[in-house]
Chain A
Amino acid sequence: MPERSMIEISRVTRSYGAFKALDETSLTIREGEFFSLLGPSGCGKTTLLRMIAGFDTPTSGSISVDGQPMDGIPANRRPTNMVFQSYAIFPHLNVEQNVCYGLKRLRLGADEEKRRVEEALSQVSLTGLGKRGATELSGGQRQRVALARALVMRPKVLLLDEPLSALDKKLREQMQVELRRLQQAVGITFILVTHDQYEALAMSDRIAVMFGGKIAQVASPKEIYQRPVNCQVADFLGGMNFVKAEIVEENGASMILDTPGFGRVKTDKPAAFVRNGKGATLGIRPERLRVLWDDTTDKYEVAGKVVDRHYFGEITHLVIEIPGFDKPLSVTETNNFGADDIPVGAPIRLAYDPDALVALAD
């Protein structure tokens, strides 16, 4: 894949009075990439997407698409198309008319128009539903029409504003797979706005995690999940055990931390790390802790007792109190070996992988 940049966002700020929806944000999105903007509501992700589309104007800073600065270019003349959260299917038009809405203006001729509408409908598996009225569609079908309507324009960038949030869980998971497949088939740069971390992890090439109008981290799904830069990102991306630690040594890109339970650990130093006294936070994902059954031992293990247990079908979530730790540790264990039968109060031993321990900035 060529590493050409498609979208350049440089020092963009958007303020509403005293409130900054977006604060000096810079970001580069590559051509052909499936990029996600992930964050809680109000973090500025939708504002950023709407500014790329042209529905909102930066207070300062600039956005360029495919090398073209977008300052002063209205939304209707940008090489971007959007799939709206509400889908915004035109209710007075049928599927076909919705899909060819944008083509009409291009005056391609009836044959070419028809061909492109057919192609777009088949890309989203809606072939044969062209004459269906907009009000006779299911949620999933509306979503597909919205996609086809945008794709038929052959945009340089497709913007997706929480497109799956209105669908039920099963359909959502199916659409995640389909969207990813579609993006790889058409090769268009996709920018997805979502507050669902699993959605972002499952679909993206890269993710930008945003909080309070700022980008906290931009990285691949795996990196962002396994090596979050700070506690906020770590927490937003899923369960995380936070362990208080003391800095023993700090040099260059790595540091050595001392914790009551895990002992001395050498970790990478996060980019945003600012030393504040001797304290630091160490994180480990609940699934990276493993229950040690019967007599098995591990080089790295801690021992404690079960204080709480939550059953989730395929997994069980155990809360384990360990002497020396200020807070109990959370562990998720598959139910293959009977984790769902461990009684509360039972003594337990856990194994951990020191590589899974990450130092986190606050």
Chain B
Amino acid sequence: MTAPAEGIAALPVVRKQRNPVLQSEAARGLGLISPTFIYAVIFLVIPIVLVIANSFWTQNYLTIDRTFTLENYRIALTDPIYRDLLMRSLWISLLVSFFTVVLAYPIAFFISFHGGKHKGLWLFLITIPFWTSYLLRVMSWKVILGYNGVLNATLMGLGITNGPSDAFLYNTSAVVITLTHAWATFAVLPIFVSLEKIDRSLVEAATDLGDGPLRRFLRITLPLSAPGIISATLIVMIPTVGDFVTPRLVGGKDGVMIANAIQAQFGKGANWPLGAALSVTTMAVVTAMAASVVLVIRMAARRIR
């Protein structure tokens, strides 16, 4: 028997030894995602399950009473303090996502339609502020908006105001300004991507059919970039509801958000079950708000004809 013939005869044996299950497309896919999957289960699913479980228990000084109760949810939903904080958090995140998208859209539009060969460079330049830490950026807003800050100095220097004002810092608008700035890049990118995907011949076709620049923007570009607007809104809105660093640093008394209350329950307040109930409530409300925002934007895009 010659060597090649042996090789051929040996081949089916080798095949048999391999487990067909491991060779299947699905098995390989599962193998690929399993590290991420395990990571997500340990650090995402288990904590969420724990939080949900906690929210139905009661804190007894240092121990936790594990009998099922809805008392925490009653407090979370009816106590005016938490209701106000939640409403304010939702309102702030809505404002932040609105302003972020409104500011980010023209930037994304400019880069996509007029960026020419330097689109990459423009996007790179936009990320530069993000090379510094988030905390530093929040602190620098303190420097700008503070009593002895850049804004007051400028206004006084220009003779617009006589003395420094404390109206800029430690309130809701300071939180909105700071968060809007912090999230701008995250909104530019999805809008940019959706604008890039628009076939330029569609814009030309609209022009050819008689539309000027404004009409074709409203009728073609804007509705077709709705997916980007939706993802930008969600990317900004969902995390900002739960932000607690910014309100802590620049929010003052008026800028306190729900996350600060949750943090307090897990920290000084030492009432984990209430904190958990507040977290779960916030998650549910944010999900509902996100869903309704998506619906509203989709409907608005469909309305434009």
A binds B: yes
Residues in chain A within 8 A of chain B (CB atoms): 53-55, 74-77, 80-82, 84-86, 88, 90-93, 97, 101-102, 104-106, 149-150, 153
Is B29 located at the chain interface by the 8 A CB criterion?
Answer: no
Is B208 located at the chain interface by the 8 A CB criterion?
Answer: yes
If A90-B202, A92-B224, A92-B301 touch, whether A82 touches B215 (CB-CB below 8 Å) is no
| Chain B residue nearest to A92 in the complex (CB) | B223
4 nearest interchain CB pairs? A102-B209, A88-B205, A88-B201, A75-B207
Q: For the complex, what is the distance from the CA of A106 to the CA of B204, rounded to whole Å?
A: 19
Q: For the complex, what is the distance from the CA of A53 to the CA of B206, rounded to whole Å?
A: 12
Is B305 located at the chain interface by the 8 A CB criterion?
Answer: yes
Smallest Cβ distance from A157 to chain B, in angstroms? 12
Asked if A88 and B202 sit within 8 Å, CB to CB, the answer is yes
- A84 touches which one: B201, B219, B220 (CB < 8 A)? B201
A-B contact pairs, 19 of them (CB 8 A): A53-B208, A74-B212, A75-B207, A76-B207, A76-B210, A81-B208, A84-B201, A84-B205, A86-B199, A88-B199, A90-B220, A91-B224, A101-B219, A105-B209, A105-B211, A105-B215, A149-B205, A149-B209, A150-B208
Interface core residue of B206, B209, B301 (most chain A CB under 10 Å): B209
* Binary flags per residue of B292-305, CB closer than 8 Å to A gives 1, else 0: 00000000011001
Asked if A104 and B305 sit within 8 Å, CB to CB, the answer is yes
Chain B at the A interface: mostly helix, strand, loop or mixed? helix
Asked if A101 and B206 sit within 8 Å, CB to CB, the answer is yes
Q: For the complex, what is the distance from the CA of A86 to the CA of B201, rounded to whole Å?
A: 8
Given A74-B207, A76-B207, A88-B205, 9 more pairs with CB closer than 8 A: A55-B207, A75-B208, A81-B209, A82-B204, A88-B204, A105-B209, A105-B210, A149-B209, A153-B209
By a CB distance below 8 angstroms, the chain B residues around A81 are: 208-209
Q: For the complex, what is the distance from the CA of A85 to the CA of B200, rounded to whole Å?
A: 12
Smallest Cβ distance from A76 to chain B, in angstroms? 5
By a CB distance below 8 angstroms, the chain B residues around A54 are: 207
If A92-B223, A93-B305, A101-B206 touch, whether A76 touches B212 (CB-CB below 8 Å) is yes
Q: For the complex, what is the distance from the CA of A150 to the CA of B206, rounded to whole Å?
A: 11
Smallest Cβ distance from A133 to chain B, in angstroms? 12
Count class of interface residues, chain B = 20 to 34
By a CB distance below 8 angstroms, the chain A residues around B224 are: 91-92
| Chain B residue nearest to A149 in the complex (CB) | B209
* Binary flags per residue of B172-208, CB closer than 8 Å to A gives 1, else 0: 0000000000000000000000000001011011111
By a CB distance below 8 angstroms, the chain B residues around A85 are: 201
Q: For the complex, what is the distance from the CA of A92 to the CA of B220, rounded to whole Å?
A: 8
Asked if B223 and A101 sit within 8 Å, CB to CB, the answer is no
Asked if B204 and A84 sit within 8 Å, CB to CB, the answer is yes
Q: For the complex, what is the distance from the CA of A41 to the CA of B273, rounded to whole Å?
A: 71
Q: For the complex, what is the distance from the CA of A75 to the CA of B202, rounded to whole Å?
A: 14
- A55 touches which one: B202, B204, B302 (CB < 8 A)? B204
Q: For the complex, what is the distance from the CA of A97 to the CA of B224, rounded to whole Å?
A: 15
By a CB distance below 8 angstroms, the chain A residues around B204 are: 55, 75, 82, 84, 88
Asked if B205 and A90 sit within 8 Å, CB to CB, the answer is yes
Smallest Cβ distance from B297 to chain A, in angstroms? 13
By a CB distance below 8 angstroms, the chain A residues around B202 are: 88, 90-91
Q: For the complex, what is the distance from the CA of A95 to the CA of B301, rounded to whole Å?
A: 18
Smallest Cβ distance from B298 to chain A, in angstroms? 11
By a CB distance below 8 angstroms, the chain A residues around B210 are: 76-77, 102, 105-106, 153
* Binary flags per residue of B201-243, CB closer than 8 Å to A gives 1, else 0: 1101111111110010001100110000000000000000000
Asked if A76 and B223 sit within 8 Å, CB to CB, the answer is no
| Chain A residue nearest to B206 in the complex (CB) | A101
Interface core residue of A77, A85, A86 (most chain B CB under 10 Å): A86
Asked if B305 and A82 sit within 8 Å, CB to CB, the answer is no
If A92-B301, A93-B305, A105-B215 touch, whether A76 touches B220 (CB-CB below 8 Å) is no
| Chain A residue nearest to B223 in the complex (CB) | A92
Q: For the complex, what is the distance from the CA of A82 to the CA of B301, rounded to whole Å?
A: 26
If A84-B201, A84-B204, A92-B223 touch, whether A101 touches B209 (CB-CB below 8 Å) is yes
| Chain B residue nearest to A77 in the complex (CB) | B210
Q: For the complex, what is the distance from the CA of A84 to the CA of B200, rounded to whole Å?
A: 11
Q: For the complex, what is the distance from the CA of A101 to the CA of B305, rounded to whole Å?
A: 8
Smallest Cβ distance from A313 to chain B, in angstroms? 37
By a CB distance below 8 angstroms, the chain B residues around A80 are: 208
Smallest Cβ distance from A193 to chain B, in angstroms? 14
| Chain A residue nearest to B226 in the complex (CB) | A92
Q: For the complex, what is the distance from the CA of A85 to the CA of B202, rounded to whole Å?
A: 11
Interface core residue of A53, A84, A90, A104 (most chain B CB under 10 Å): A90
Q: For the complex, what is the distance from the CA of A85 to the CA of B207, rounded to whole Å?
A: 16
| Chain A residue nearest to B216 in the complex (CB) | A76
Q: For the complex, what is the distance from the CA of A81 to the CA of B206, rounded to whole Å?
A: 10
Q: For the complex, what is the distance from the CA of A74 to the CA of B216, rounded to whole Å?
A: 14
Asked if B223 and A82 sit within 8 Å, CB to CB, the answer is no
Q: For the complex, what is the distance from the CA of A91 to the CA of B219, rounded to whole Å?
A: 12
Q: For the complex, what is the distance from the CA of A203 to the CA of B204, rounded to whole Å?
A: 26
